Structure 1
Amino acid sequence: MVDRRNKPMALATTPGLPPQPQVNFSHANSRVTAVLPTGESVVILLYGATVISWKNRFGMEKLWLSDAAKLDGSKAVRGGIPLVFPVFGTAPDHAPTSKLPQHGFARNSRWEFLGKSSSESAGPSDTSVKLDFGLSSNTLEDGVKSQWPYTFSIIYSVTLTPESLSTSIVITNDGAEPIDFQVLMHTYLRVNDISQIQVTGLEDSEYVDKVDAAKTKSQSGAVAITGETDRVYTPAKGPSNAVAVAEEGETIFTVVRDNLKDVVVWNPWTEKAAGMGDFEPKDGFKKMICIEAGSVNGWVSLDPGDAFEGAQTISD
């Protein structure tokens, strides 16, 4: 081969777009998975718009999901982040919601995937993806409509960044009469050892102790879990003050709320876990703690045409 003294220069390549978040459907289009270029991921079931997985870039799961959780739409999911609306627990004395099942219908309804959006700044580490889901009175099953005959629409958004997971909700009253409701993001956080957990950010706050005849008490110091725990806190410092979960003295989660005034702290402990058919393994309570952002101490009243917005951001 003849050696050419003046070889042509290679053509300059046009820089491509930066890596984009990947969003895919699976399980007969019943699940949406988003993966960031940096490796973080989130999985949401269209049934209940329930977040069932949140992993960091190393593939470590941040949420607790029962081994016996039903993921086929046959019942509400045990674990992840089920969405409670329009009633927390049951409210037999509250006429508008008295006919509804425990925790309402949002977690038992099939939501519509409305689309995704992403943002990039200077580098791939700043990439995020936002997934939007919708539910309205028009798409509810007839049985649910008969139990709660109000006209509404909801947009629920799940935003994944390399550092955090955010869930936000916009509830609009599309009808001609006021709507009373409660809303809660029932987040199951994964921990290594519940006996080593302390929750801070709730100091000097009043709470309703549902394990002790719904007595109103005041929190002094950090919260430790030593038995069945079911408390509705109204944090004294307001939603923007972080509620932190520390394990062996190291902060592993922080939860910041926006317009969600209450925080439920829940762990079923031994007997309660044993009595729940979809809670597996039975000692799984040692590996989880629920820190649930919501407005559930009383009722939110929404006038016709008005909208309610609330959100939480969980950082690890």
Structure 2
Amino acid sequence: MVDRPNKPSALSATPGLPAQAQVNITHGSQKVTAVLPTGESVEILLYGATVISWKDKKGAEKLWLSEATKLDGSKAVRGGIPLVFPVFGPPPPNHATSKLPQHGFARTSRWEFLGKSTSESESSEGGADLSVKLDFGLSSASLDPQTKALWGYAFNLIYSVTLGTGSLTTSLVVTNDDERPFDLQVLLHTYFRIDDITAVTVKGLEGASYVDKVDAKKEKTQSAEVKFVGETDRVYTPVGGPSAPVEIVQGGKTVFSVVRDNLNDVVVWNPWSEKAAAMGDFAPKDGYKNMVCVEAGSVRGWQTLEPGDAFEGAQTITISG
């Protein structure tokens, strides 16, 4: 991880060794970057453990990041994959999370980089597919006193980001280290980069019940593919369960496929023109045309975690085509 100026040159050029993923900590130990030999890359800020970039082997960016977002730890990142925990949206009154800011504190806390691991599997073409897993940790012991005062439970979070050839997996393990049970919600708030929101549909939500947050939180049922003609903010519970893929289709072609593990809900969001214009950290103001959020989570209700128990949820995003 740390460059050694007197490192023997033979270590980086030993004959017969397969190419390895390159992992570096940069920007004053503020960001972790991983690059596969095939060219795929990912960048994660230690602030919020927020994934801010994911590029395919051709160098094409797959995540949308606001040009006006702050990356210095002064404010939650607008774009990439912010991590929502332990509450989604504005906290409800008379609840243990009621004093917390919207979307909780995980996305605005400084995480610790715990290390990397690599794996290799045989691909269908007979070669080897290399992946690298980056682990990050956050616990109640590392929170600032102000945050502890808002939500005083003892907990431990392990967040893993796994970069593969054509895929990205993000997973979170929550452990209750307290003597009391606590409620939690989790959301992987993924901003996908697209070409044109009016040419995009989302498949895999047909028949699902959802809460329409743009229409007074009415309960509705999705009859067909999701299309975008204005502000969209919906919380779905897909009928096929987490293992059934939710696909982002652009111009009739699937560009992303999302499969969930133990995350029953999917939030679909696009602010459209008026709301984008009202957000100070959203830029360019017409950037809503080039992004769509399809977010895996557990947010329609609460997960109650008993002392000593753990909750784990994950998503795997695959690039199509």
Whether TM-score is above 0.5 comes out as yes
Residue 254 of structure 1 aligns with an amino acid whose one-letter code is S
The change in CA–CA distance for 1:275 and 1:165 in structure 2 (over 3 A counts) is: same
Residue 113 of structure 1 aligns with an amino acid whose one-letter code is F
**1:120 offset after TM fit, Å?**
1.8
**1:98 offset after TM fit, Å?**
0.3
Does 1:128 pair with 2:128? no
Does 1:91 pair with 2:94? no
**1:15 offset after TM fit, Å?**
4.2
Residue 255 of structure 2 aligns with an amino acid whose one-letter code is I
Residue 171 of structure 1 aligns with an amino acid whose one-letter code is V
The TM-score, its normalising length taken from structure 2, stands at 0.93
Give the Cα–Cα distance (whole angstroms) in 2 for the partners of residues 57 and 256 of structure 1: 21
Give the Cα–Cα distance (whole angstroms) in 2 for the partners of residues 81 and 14 of structure 1: 37
Residue 283 of structure 1 aligns with an amino acid whose one-letter code is D
Matched with 1:51 is 51
Residue 121 of structure 1 aligns with an amino acid whose one-letter code is S
Give the Cα–Cα distance (whole angstroms) in 1 for the partners of residues 75 and 258 of structure 2: 27
Q: SS at 1:29's partner residue? A: coil
Give the Cα–Cα distance (whole angstroms) in 2 for the partners of residues 275 and 142 of structure 1: 32
Residue 92 of structure 2 aligns with an amino acid whose one-letter code is P
Residue 65 of structure 1 aligns with an amino acid whose one-letter code is L
Q: SS at 1:96's partner residue? A: coil
Cα offsets for 1:127-156 (capped at 9, x unmatched): 000000000000001000000000000000
1:222-261 residue pairs with structure 2 within 5 A? Answer: 222-261=225-264
**1:166 offset after TM fit, Å?**
0.3
Whether contact under 8 Å (1:18, 1:124) holds in the other structure is no
Larger mean Cα displacement after TM superposition, 122-131 or 222-231: 122-131
Q: SS at 2:141's partner residue? A: coil
Residue 177 of structure 1 aligns with an amino acid whose one-letter code is R
Matched with 1:263 is 266
Cα offsets for 1:55-109 (capped at 9, x unmatched): 0010000000000010000000000000000000112324200000010000000
* Number of residues of Structure 1 aligned to a counterpart in Structure 2: 304
Whether contact under 8 Å (1:38, 1:124) holds in the other structure is no
Does 1:79 pair with 2:83? no
Q: SS at 1:60's partner residue? A: coil
Give the Cα–Cα distance (whole angstroms) in 2 for the partners of residues 223 and 131 of structure 1: 33
Give the Cα–Cα distance (whole angstroms) in 1 for the partners of residues 25 and 14 of structure 2: 31
Matched with 1:21 is 21
Q: 2:169 aligns with which of 145, 166, 169?
A: 166
Indicate the RMSD between aligned Cα atoms, in angstroms.
Answer: 1.2
Matched with 1:175 is 178
Matched with 1:5 is none
Mind listing any 5+ residue stretches in structure 1 that lack a counterpart? 1-12
Whether contact under 8 Å (2:91, 2:101) holds in the other structure is no
Residue 221 of structure 1 aligns with an amino acid whose one-letter code is A
Matched with 1:293 is 296
Does 1:210 pair with 2:213? yes
Give the Cα–Cα distance (whole angstroms) in 2 for the partners of residues 108 and 91 of structure 1: 16
Aligned residues with identical type, % of pairs: 68
Matched with 2:308 is 305
Q: SS at 1:107's partner residue? A: helix
Residue 119 of structure 2 aligns with an amino acid whose one-letter code is S
The change in CA–CA distance for 1:125 and 1:71 in structure 2 (over 3 A counts) is: farther
The TM-score, its normalising length taken from structure 1, stands at 0.95
**1:121 offset after TM fit, Å?**
3.2
Matched with 1:154 is 157
**1:25 offset after TM fit, Å?**
1.1
Whether contact under 8 Å (2:203, 2:248) holds in the other structure is yes
Q: Tell which structure's C-alpha radius of gyration is larger.
A: 1
